[in-house]
Structure 1
Protein backbone atom coordinates (compact mmCIF):
# COMPACT_ATOMS: atom_id res chain seq x y z
CA UNK A 1 0.00 0.00 0.00
CA UNK A 2 1.24 3.51 -0.83
CA UNK A 3 1.47 6.06 1.98
CA UNK A 4 -0.44 9.23 1.51
CA UNK A 5 1.64 12.26 0.48
CA UNK A 6 1.18 13.91 3.85
CA UNK A 7 2.68 10.89 5.67
CA UNK A 8 5.67 10.77 3.32
CA UNK A 9 6.41 14.46 3.92
CA UNK A 10 6.18 13.93 7.66
CA UNK A 11 8.58 10.94 7.51
CA UNK A 12 11.02 12.89 5.35
CA UNK A 13 10.98 15.85 7.78
CA UNK A 14 11.49 13.51 10.73
CA UNK A 15 14.49 11.84 9.04
CA UNK A 16 16.00 15.22 8.17
CA UNK A 17 15.58 16.44 11.79
CA UNK A 18 17.12 13.22 13.12
CA UNK A 19 20.16 13.60 10.81
CA UNK A 20 20.58 17.26 11.79
CA UNK A 21 20.42 16.39 15.52
CA UNK A 22 22.92 13.55 15.06
CA UNK A 23 25.37 15.87 13.26
CA UNK A 24 24.97 18.56 15.92
CA UNK A 25 25.59 16.05 18.74
CA UNK A 26 28.66 14.65 16.97
CA UNK A 27 30.13 18.16 16.54
CA UNK A 28 29.39 19.04 20.17
CA UNK A 29 31.05 15.84 21.41
CA UNK A 30 34.11 16.45 19.25
CA UNK A 31 34.46 20.01 20.62
CA UNK A 32 34.02 18.79 24.20
CA UNK A 33 36.71 16.11 23.71
CA UNK A 34 39.21 18.78 22.71
CA UNK A 35 38.64 20.57 26.01
CA UNK A 36 38.99 17.50 28.24
CA UNK A 37 41.91 15.36 29.32
CA UNK A 38 40.62 12.64 27.03
CA UNK A 39 41.37 14.75 23.96
CA UNK A 40 44.77 15.34 22.45
CA UNK A 41 45.47 18.13 24.98
CA UNK A 42 46.98 21.51 24.43
CA UNK A 43 49.87 21.90 22.07
CA UNK A 44 53.06 23.07 23.78
CA UNK A 45 55.04 25.61 21.82
CA UNK A 46 58.80 25.85 22.15
CA UNK A 47 59.98 28.68 24.42
CA UNK A 48 59.87 31.99 22.65
CA UNK A 49 63.00 33.99 22.18
CA UNK A 50 62.76 37.70 22.91
CA UNK A 51 61.29 39.48 19.93
CA UNK A 52 62.06 43.06 18.99
CA UNK A 53 59.25 45.52 19.45
CA UNK A 54 57.07 46.25 16.47
CA UNK A 55 58.44 48.88 14.13
CA UNK A 56 57.02 52.33 14.69
CA UNK A 57 54.81 53.97 12.09
CA UNK A 58 57.82 55.59 10.39
CA UNK A 59 59.16 52.11 9.60
CA UNK A 60 62.39 52.41 11.54
CA UNK A 61 62.84 50.02 14.42
CA UNK A 62 65.20 51.09 17.16
CA UNK A 63 68.52 49.32 16.94
CA UNK A 64 69.46 50.61 20.39
CA UNK A 65 67.17 48.03 21.99
CA UNK A 66 68.98 45.11 20.40
CA UNK A 67 71.84 43.53 22.28
CA UNK A 68 74.83 43.46 19.98
CA UNK A 69 78.51 44.13 20.35
CA UNK A 70 80.07 47.24 18.89
CA UNK A 71 82.36 46.75 15.94
CA UNK A 72 85.97 46.59 17.14
CA UNK A 73 87.33 47.48 13.70
CA UNK A 74 88.65 50.97 13.09
CA UNK A 75 86.64 53.38 10.96
CA UNK A 76 87.70 52.75 7.36
CA UNK A 77 88.63 55.88 5.43
CA UNK A 78 89.06 55.82 1.66
CA UNK A 79 91.39 58.61 0.59
CA UNK A 80 90.69 59.94 -2.90
CA UNK A 81 93.55 60.52 -5.28
CA UNK A 82 93.28 64.08 -6.65
CA UNK A 83 96.69 64.89 -8.15
CA UNK A 84 97.93 66.98 -9.81
CA UNK A 85 95.67 69.68 -8.33
CA UNK A 86 95.45 68.50 -4.71
CA UNK A 87 97.31 66.13 -2.42
CA UNK A 88 95.72 62.70 -2.28
CA UNK A 89 95.63 62.80 1.52
CA UNK A 90 93.24 65.72 1.79
CA UNK A 91 89.86 64.26 0.77
CA UNK A 92 88.42 61.10 2.26
CA UNK A 93 85.20 59.13 2.29
CA UNK A 94 83.97 57.05 5.20
CA UNK A 95 80.85 55.44 6.58
CA UNK A 96 78.72 57.20 9.16
CA UNK A 97 80.50 57.31 12.56
CA UNK A 98 78.46 55.88 15.43
CA UNK A 99 76.01 54.21 13.03
CA UNK A 100 73.71 51.67 14.71
CA UNK A 101 71.54 50.05 12.08
CA UNK A 102 70.78 46.39 11.39
CA UNK A 103 74.05 44.51 12.03
CA UNK A 104 76.27 47.64 12.17
CA UNK A 105 77.29 48.84 15.65
CA UNK A 106 79.79 51.69 15.60
CA UNK A 107 80.96 53.64 18.64
CA UNK A 108 80.46 57.36 18.00
CA UNK A 109 83.13 58.66 20.38
CA UNK A 110 85.71 56.16 19.16
CA UNK A 111 84.96 56.94 15.50
CA UNK A 112 85.18 60.71 16.05
CA UNK A 113 88.46 60.15 17.90
CA UNK A 114 89.80 58.31 14.84
CA UNK A 115 88.75 61.17 12.56
CA UNK A 116 90.46 63.65 14.88
CA UNK A 117 93.65 61.55 14.97
CA UNK A 118 93.71 61.61 11.15
CA UNK A 119 93.60 65.40 11.30
CA UNK A 120 90.13 65.82 9.78
CA UNK A 121 89.12 69.48 9.98
CA UNK A 122 86.06 69.72 7.73
CA UNK A 123 83.24 67.23 7.31
CA UNK A 124 80.60 67.26 4.59
CA UNK A 125 77.48 65.51 5.88
CA UNK A 126 75.09 64.68 3.04
CA UNK A 127 72.59 62.73 5.20
CA UNK A 128 69.26 64.30 6.14
CA UNK A 129 68.36 64.74 9.82
CA UNK A 130 65.84 61.92 9.37
CA UNK A 131 68.57 59.61 8.09
CA UNK A 132 70.82 60.55 11.02
CA UNK A 133 67.98 59.55 13.36
CA UNK A 134 67.39 56.34 11.41
CA UNK A 135 71.05 55.40 11.85
CA UNK A 136 70.89 56.32 15.57
CA UNK A 137 73.21 59.32 15.41
CA UNK A 138 70.75 62.24 15.62
CA UNK A 139 73.34 64.44 17.36
CA UNK A 140 76.24 63.67 15.02
CA UNK A 141 76.53 67.22 13.70
CA UNK A 142 76.60 68.63 17.24
CA UNK A 143 79.22 66.04 18.25
CA UNK A 144 81.46 67.09 15.36
CA UNK A 145 81.15 70.74 16.33
CA UNK A 146 81.93 69.94 19.98
CA UNK A 147 85.16 68.32 18.77
CA UNK A 148 86.13 71.46 16.84
CA UNK A 149 85.34 70.20 13.36
CA UNK A 150 83.74 72.44 10.75
CA UNK A 151 80.52 70.83 9.51
CA UNK A 152 79.14 71.44 6.03
CA UNK A 153 75.63 69.98 6.20
CA UNK A 154 74.01 69.64 2.79
CA UNK A 155 71.18 67.12 3.22
CA UNK A 156 70.40 65.12 0.10
CA UNK A 157 67.61 62.55 0.59
CA UNK A 158 68.76 59.01 -0.18
CA UNK A 159 68.17 58.13 -3.81
CA UNK A 160 67.77 61.76 -4.92
CA UNK A 161 70.15 64.05 -6.74
CA UNK A 162 70.77 67.57 -5.45
CA UNK A 163 69.51 70.51 -7.48
CA UNK A 164 72.14 72.43 -9.43
CA UNK A 165 72.32 75.28 -6.89
CA UNK A 166 73.03 72.86 -4.02
CA UNK A 167 75.55 70.99 -6.15
CA UNK A 168 77.42 74.22 -6.97
CA UNK A 169 77.44 75.27 -3.30
CA UNK A 170 78.83 71.90 -2.14
CA UNK A 171 81.53 71.92 -4.83
CA UNK A 172 82.53 75.50 -4.03
CA UNK A 173 82.88 74.74 -0.30
CA UNK A 174 84.79 71.55 -1.08
CA UNK A 175 87.16 73.40 -3.43
CA UNK A 176 87.84 76.01 -0.73
CA UNK A 177 88.70 73.29 1.81
CA UNK A 178 91.07 71.54 -0.61
CA UNK A 179 92.78 74.77 -1.69
CA UNK A 180 93.39 75.58 1.99
CA UNK A 181 94.91 72.09 2.43
CA UNK A 182 92.34 71.15 5.07
CA UNK A 183 91.81 67.44 5.55
CA UNK A 184 88.21 66.94 4.54
CA UNK A 185 85.80 64.03 4.91
CA UNK A 186 82.59 63.32 2.98
CA UNK A 187 79.83 61.19 4.48
Structure 2
Protein backbone atom coordinates (compact mmCIF):
# COMPACT_ATOMS: atom_id res chain seq x y z
CA UNK A 1 0.00 0.00 0.00
CA UNK A 2 1.41 3.36 -0.95
CA UNK A 3 2.23 5.48 2.11
CA UNK A 4 1.63 8.88 0.54
CA UNK A 5 -1.05 9.69 -1.97
CA UNK A 6 -1.58 12.84 -3.97
CA UNK A 7 -5.24 13.79 -3.83
CA UNK A 8 -7.29 12.26 -6.61
CA UNK A 9 -9.07 15.61 -6.98
CA UNK A 10 -6.01 17.02 -8.74
CA UNK A 11 -5.88 16.83 -12.49
CA UNK A 12 -3.67 14.18 -14.03
CA UNK A 13 -1.09 14.91 -16.69
CA UNK A 14 -3.45 13.68 -19.41
CA UNK A 15 -5.69 16.67 -18.84
CA UNK A 16 -2.80 19.08 -19.44
CA UNK A 17 -1.45 17.66 -22.69
CA UNK A 18 -1.66 19.98 -25.67
CA UNK A 19 -0.42 17.98 -28.59
CA UNK A 20 -0.05 14.43 -29.88
CA UNK A 21 0.40 11.88 -27.12
CA UNK A 22 2.90 9.02 -27.43
CA UNK A 23 0.86 5.79 -27.45
CA UNK A 24 3.71 3.31 -27.85
CA UNK A 25 4.00 1.05 -24.78
CA UNK A 26 6.39 2.31 -22.15
CA UNK A 27 9.68 0.43 -22.45
CA UNK A 28 10.69 -1.76 -19.51
CA UNK A 29 14.18 -3.27 -19.54
CA UNK A 30 14.58 -6.38 -17.41
CA UNK A 31 17.95 -6.76 -15.72
CA UNK A 32 18.94 -10.14 -14.31
CA UNK A 33 20.27 -9.58 -10.78
CA UNK A 34 21.06 -13.23 -9.98
CA UNK A 35 20.45 -16.67 -11.44
CA UNK A 36 16.72 -16.61 -10.68
CA UNK A 37 15.56 -12.99 -10.32
CA UNK A 38 15.25 -9.85 -12.44
CA UNK A 39 14.27 -6.23 -11.85
CA UNK A 40 12.69 -3.90 -14.38
CA UNK A 41 13.87 -0.39 -15.29
CA UNK A 42 11.77 2.21 -17.04
CA UNK A 43 11.44 5.93 -17.57
CA UNK A 44 8.79 7.89 -15.71
CA UNK A 45 5.27 6.78 -16.71
CA UNK A 46 3.17 9.58 -18.19
CA UNK A 47 6.18 11.87 -18.41
CA UNK A 48 5.86 15.19 -20.25
CA UNK A 49 9.40 16.32 -20.96
CA UNK A 50 10.77 18.29 -23.88
CA UNK A 51 9.14 16.89 -26.98
CA UNK A 52 7.96 13.74 -25.19
CA UNK A 53 4.31 13.53 -24.20
CA UNK A 54 3.12 10.27 -22.71
CA UNK A 55 -0.29 9.36 -21.33
CA UNK A 56 -0.15 8.61 -17.61
CA UNK A 57 -3.29 6.48 -17.63
CA UNK A 58 -2.13 4.53 -20.69
CA UNK A 59 1.28 3.82 -19.16
CA UNK A 60 -0.17 2.80 -15.77
CA UNK A 61 -2.70 0.48 -17.41
CA UNK A 62 0.08 -1.04 -19.50
CA UNK A 63 2.19 -1.72 -16.38
CA UNK A 64 -0.82 -3.30 -14.70
CA UNK A 65 -1.46 -5.53 -17.71
CA UNK A 66 2.22 -6.58 -17.67
CA UNK A 67 1.64 -7.93 -14.18
CA UNK A 68 3.80 -5.39 -12.35
CA UNK A 69 3.32 -5.77 -8.59
CA UNK A 70 5.88 -3.37 -7.06
CA UNK A 71 6.87 0.09 -8.28
CA UNK A 72 9.84 2.06 -6.93
CA UNK A 73 9.47 5.74 -7.83
CA UNK A 74 12.86 7.41 -7.40
CA UNK A 75 11.81 10.95 -8.38
CA UNK A 76 11.07 13.51 -5.63
CA UNK A 77 7.68 15.24 -5.57
CA UNK A 78 9.12 18.40 -7.12
CA UNK A 79 10.28 16.41 -10.14
CA UNK A 80 6.94 14.62 -10.47
CA UNK A 81 5.17 17.97 -10.55
CA UNK A 82 7.62 19.36 -13.10
CA UNK A 83 7.08 16.31 -15.34
CA UNK A 84 3.29 16.72 -14.92
CA UNK A 85 2.80 13.36 -13.22
CA UNK A 86 1.97 14.51 -9.70
CA UNK A 87 -0.79 11.85 -9.65
CA UNK A 88 1.56 9.00 -10.62
CA UNK A 89 1.66 7.19 -7.28
CA UNK A 90 -2.07 7.52 -6.78
CA UNK A 91 -2.73 6.11 -10.26
CA UNK A 92 -0.40 3.15 -9.66
CA UNK A 93 -2.02 2.39 -6.33
CA UNK A 94 -5.49 2.57 -7.90
CA UNK A 95 -4.69 -0.31 -10.26
CA UNK A 96 -3.26 -2.48 -7.47
CA UNK A 97 0.47 -1.81 -7.86
CA UNK A 98 2.27 -1.40 -4.54
CA UNK A 99 4.23 1.87 -4.58
CA UNK A 100 7.52 2.63 -2.82
CA UNK A 101 8.41 6.30 -2.98
CA UNK A 102 12.19 6.44 -2.60
CA UNK A 103 13.11 9.95 -3.79
CA UNK A 104 16.68 10.59 -4.90
CA UNK A 105 17.57 14.16 -5.81
CA UNK A 106 19.20 14.03 -9.26
CA UNK A 107 21.27 17.14 -8.48
CA UNK A 108 22.69 15.84 -5.19
CA UNK A 109 25.31 13.23 -4.42
CA UNK A 110 23.96 9.76 -3.76
CA UNK A 111 23.74 8.91 -0.08
CA UNK A 112 25.00 5.48 1.03
CA UNK A 113 22.58 5.07 3.95
CA UNK A 114 19.58 6.12 1.85
CA UNK A 115 20.58 3.72 -0.93
CA UNK A 116 20.91 0.86 1.54
CA UNK A 117 17.37 1.51 2.78
CA UNK A 118 16.04 1.42 -0.78
CA UNK A 119 18.05 -1.73 -1.45
CA UNK A 120 16.56 -3.46 1.61
CA UNK A 121 13.03 -2.94 0.29
CA UNK A 122 14.02 -3.67 -3.31
CA UNK A 123 15.79 -6.90 -2.39
CA UNK A 124 12.84 -8.07 -0.31
CA UNK A 125 10.41 -7.51 -3.19
CA UNK A 126 12.63 -9.06 -5.89
CA UNK A 127 13.63 -12.15 -3.88
CA UNK A 128 9.99 -12.70 -2.97
CA UNK A 129 9.40 -13.22 -6.68
CA UNK A 130 7.33 -10.06 -7.17
CA UNK A 131 7.41 -8.34 -10.55
CA UNK A 132 9.24 -5.13 -9.65
CA UNK A 133 10.08 -2.01 -11.67
CA UNK A 134 12.29 1.00 -10.89
CA UNK A 135 11.28 4.39 -12.30
CA UNK A 136 13.26 7.60 -12.68
CA UNK A 137 13.12 10.31 -15.34
CA UNK A 138 14.91 8.39 -18.10
CA UNK A 139 15.69 5.05 -16.42
CA UNK A 140 19.38 5.23 -17.27
CA UNK A 141 20.53 7.07 -14.13
CA UNK A 142 19.10 6.49 -10.67
CA UNK A 143 17.14 3.37 -11.61
CA UNK A 144 20.14 1.79 -13.32
CA UNK A 145 22.37 2.57 -10.33
CA UNK A 146 19.95 0.88 -7.93
CA UNK A 147 19.75 -2.18 -10.19
CA UNK A 148 23.57 -2.38 -10.32
CA UNK A 149 23.81 -2.00 -6.54
CA UNK A 150 21.34 -4.85 -6.10
CA UNK A 151 23.53 -7.00 -8.36
CA UNK A 152 26.54 -6.23 -6.14
CA UNK A 153 24.58 -7.00 -2.99
CA UNK A 154 23.42 -10.38 -4.31
CA UNK A 155 26.76 -11.29 -5.93
CA UNK A 156 29.58 -10.14 -3.65
CA UNK A 157 32.22 -11.72 -5.87
CA UNK A 158 31.48 -9.31 -8.72
CA UNK A 159 33.17 -5.94 -9.22
CA UNK A 160 31.38 -2.61 -9.64
CA UNK A 161 32.52 -2.50 -13.27
CA UNK A 162 30.99 -5.93 -13.93
CA UNK A 163 27.68 -4.91 -12.33
CA UNK A 164 27.59 -1.78 -14.53
CA UNK A 165 28.30 -3.87 -17.64
CA UNK A 166 25.45 -6.24 -16.76
CA UNK A 167 22.98 -3.35 -16.50
CA UNK A 168 24.23 -1.84 -19.76
CA UNK A 169 23.89 -5.20 -21.53
CA UNK A 170 20.21 -5.32 -20.60
CA UNK A 171 19.20 -1.65 -20.62
CA UNK A 172 21.61 -0.06 -23.06
CA UNK A 173 24.97 1.76 -23.12
CA UNK A 174 23.50 4.98 -21.70
CA UNK A 175 22.95 3.36 -18.30
CA UNK A 176 25.12 4.78 -15.48
CA UNK A 177 26.91 7.14 -17.82
CA UNK A 178 27.80 9.98 -15.44
CA UNK A 179 31.13 10.15 -13.63
CA UNK A 180 29.36 10.81 -10.34
CA UNK A 181 27.24 7.66 -10.63
CA UNK A 182 30.23 5.57 -11.68
CA UNK A 183 32.32 6.83 -8.76
CA UNK A 184 29.49 6.14 -6.34
CA UNK A 185 29.35 2.53 -7.54
CA UNK A 186 33.05 2.11 -6.80
CA UNK A 187 32.71 3.83 -3.42
CA UNK A 188 29.75 1.65 -2.49
CA UNK A 189 31.68 -1.54 -3.18
CA UNK A 190 34.70 -0.29 -1.19
CA UNK A 191 32.47 0.54 1.77
CA UNK A 192 30.83 -2.89 1.62
CA UNK A 193 34.21 -4.65 1.51
CA UNK A 194 35.45 -2.58 4.46
CA UNK A 195 32.33 -3.44 6.43
CA UNK A 196 32.68 -7.15 5.69
CA UNK A 197 36.36 -7.10 6.77
CA UNK A 198 35.45 -5.26 9.96
CA UNK A 199 32.71 -7.77 10.77
CA UNK A 200 35.06 -10.70 10.15
CA UNK A 201 37.72 -9.18 12.43
CA UNK A 202 35.15 -8.57 15.17
CA UNK A 203 33.90 -12.14 14.90
CA UNK A 204 37.44 -13.51 15.15
CA UNK A 205 38.17 -11.36 18.21
CA UNK A 206 34.97 -12.50 19.91
CA UNK A 207 35.65 -16.21 19.31
CA UNK A 208 36.64 -18.15 22.52
CA UNK A 209 40.29 -19.32 22.73
CA UNK A 210 41.06 -22.92 21.87
CA UNK A 211 41.01 -25.27 24.90
CA UNK A 212 44.47 -26.37 26.15
CA UNK A 213 45.34 -30.06 25.62
CA UNK A 214 45.33 -32.27 28.79
CA UNK A 215 47.00 -35.31 27.23
CA UNK A 216 50.47 -36.53 28.27
CA UNK A 217 52.02 -37.65 25.00
CA UNK A 218 55.53 -38.16 26.48
CA UNK A 219 54.33 -40.71 29.05
CA UNK A 220 52.44 -42.63 26.41
CA UNK A 221 55.44 -42.57 24.11
CA UNK A 222 57.74 -43.90 26.89
CA UNK A 223 55.40 -46.80 27.59
CA UNK A 224 55.17 -47.59 23.90
CA UNK A 225 58.99 -47.51 23.64
CA UNK A 226 59.44 -49.98 26.57
CA UNK A 227 56.92 -52.37 25.02
CA UNK A 228 58.64 -52.19 21.65
CA UNK A 229 62.07 -52.95 23.27
CA UNK A 230 60.70 -56.01 25.09
CA UNK A 231 59.11 -57.32 21.90
CA UNK A 232 62.36 -56.88 19.97
CA UNK A 233 64.32 -58.80 22.64
CA UNK A 234 61.85 -61.67 22.47
CA UNK A 235 62.20 -61.84 18.68
CA UNK A 236 66.01 -62.00 18.98
CA UNK A 237 65.82 -64.82 21.54
CA UNK A 238 63.46 -66.86 19.40
CA UNK A 239 65.59 -66.28 16.32
CA UNK A 240 68.80 -67.44 18.06
CA UNK A 241 67.17 -70.57 19.44
CA UNK A 242 65.76 -71.50 16.06
CA UNK A 243 69.13 -71.09 14.38
CA UNK A 244 70.92 -73.42 16.90
CA UNK A 245 68.46 -76.28 16.54
CA UNK A 246 68.53 -76.13 12.76
CA UNK A 247 72.39 -76.39 12.40
CA UNK A 248 73.64 -79.48 10.42
CA UNK A 249 75.57 -82.37 12.21
CA UNK A 250 79.36 -82.41 11.89
TM-score by length of 1: 0.61
Partner residue of 1:81? Answer: 32
Distance 1:63 1:114, change over 3 A: closer
User: 1:64 offset after TM fit, Å?
Assistant: 7.3
Match of 2:223 in 1: none
SS at match of 2:32: coil
Instruction: Give the conservation status (yes or no) of the 8 Å contact 2:14–2:57.
Output: no
Gaps of 5+ in 2: 1-12, 136-250
Cα distance in 1 between the residues matched to 2:17 and 2:92 = 26
Which residue number corresponds to residue 81 of structure 2?
Answer: 133
Number of equivalences: 123
Residue 101 to residue 121, structure 1, CA distance change in 2 (3 Å): same
The equivalent position to 1:108 in structure 2, one of 52, 56, 60, is 56
Write the mapping of 1:9-158 to structure 2, written as runs, cut at 5 A. 67-84=18-35, 86-88=36-38, 91-158=39-106
Change (3 A) 1:63 1:122: closer
Looking at structure 1, the residues matched to 16 and 64 of structure 2 have their Cα atoms a distance apart, in angstroms, of 29
Partner of 1:166: 114
Give the alignment's Cα RMSD to 1 decimal.
Answer: 2.0
Question: Which segments of 5 or more consecutive residues in structure 1 lack a partner in the other structure?
Answer: 1-61
CA-CA distance at 1:103 after TM superposition: 0.6
Q: Aligned partners of 2:14 and 2:56: how far apart in 1?
A: 14
Higher helix share: 2
* Residues 63, 100 of structure 1: 8 Å contact kept: no
Distance across 2 between alignment mates of 1:98 and 1:121: 18
Q: Secondary structure, in 3 states, of the residue corresponding to 1:80? A: strand
Matched with 1:4 is none
Query: How far apart in 2 are the matches of 1:93 and 1:64?
Result: 26
